[in-house]
Amino acid sequence: MQIEGKAFLVTGGGSGLGAATARLLAEAGGRVVVVDVNEAAGGEVAESLGTRGTFVRADVADEGGVRTAIAAALSSFGGLHGAANCAGIGVATRTLGKDGPHQLEVFERVVRVNLVGTFNVIRLAAAQMATQPPDPGGTRGVIVNTASIAAFDGQVGQAAYSASKGGIVGMTLPIARDLAPLGIRVVTIAPGLFDTPLLAGLPEQVRQGLASTVPFPPRLGRPEEYAALVRHVVENDMPNGEVIRLDGALRMAPR
């Protein structure tokens, strides 16, 4: 699918992977609805895109908020052709720690934002894409999700995060099969260690230590590299139902 002139929804678009994706899609000629709960950050990214961007404050797990974002794509750009699910949160809590069992409400919140939120965007975006005419290749839309290598190599304290990302991995193929007759592709990217706000608060010595664990290149991934893969997935019609690790051959140790 050609990006030029197409409209995209980018969740978590106010920072990190989402911001880089929003910018690259706009640079490639796309129109972008930046979705984030952080109004200041999301609005700043959308403003930087000029006429190619608009911002909607929404919680990805809220049906009304996502419907509002899709309506913004229709009113501002005339349709919706792609969605990049980059919104996500993480916690570090052991199943049983010094303060007792993992708080259930914390586990539920991570799963709700990361997994339920991703599915919420998928189902509503697909419903809109299905109403639109296909391109010459038969594509009506492309949806790219963000998992994590924690879905496969979850570390100590990552039960909630790994479960939420593992759920995204697990639903990728069945959703791709569900939507295939409609000409809507679904692909998931599983990033490794990337230089995003999730790691920004760590001491530099810790960040360097993490970077040194990546076989090659021995550094943290750059958000622009994630965005470049999103662009490739959109433009290459063959990737579908697949989970792509983007991790420099990293396999996470237990801790």
Positions marked catalytic = 161
Report cis status (omega within 30 of 0) of the bond before 218.
no
Q: How far apart are alpha carbons 247 and 12 in whole angstroms?
A: 20
Which residues have a Cβ under 8 Å from the Cβ of 235 and sit 6 or more positions away? 1, 2, 3
Residue 84 Rama label (left phi>0; alpha psi -120 to 50; beta): beta
* C-alpha closest to that of 11 among 77, 75, 82, 74: 82
CB 188 within 8 A of CB 147: yes
Which residues have a Cβ under 8 Å from the Cβ of 209 and sit 6 or more positions away? none
Cα distances (Å, whole numbers) of residue 154 to 160, 224, 236: 10, 24, 30
DSSP 250: -
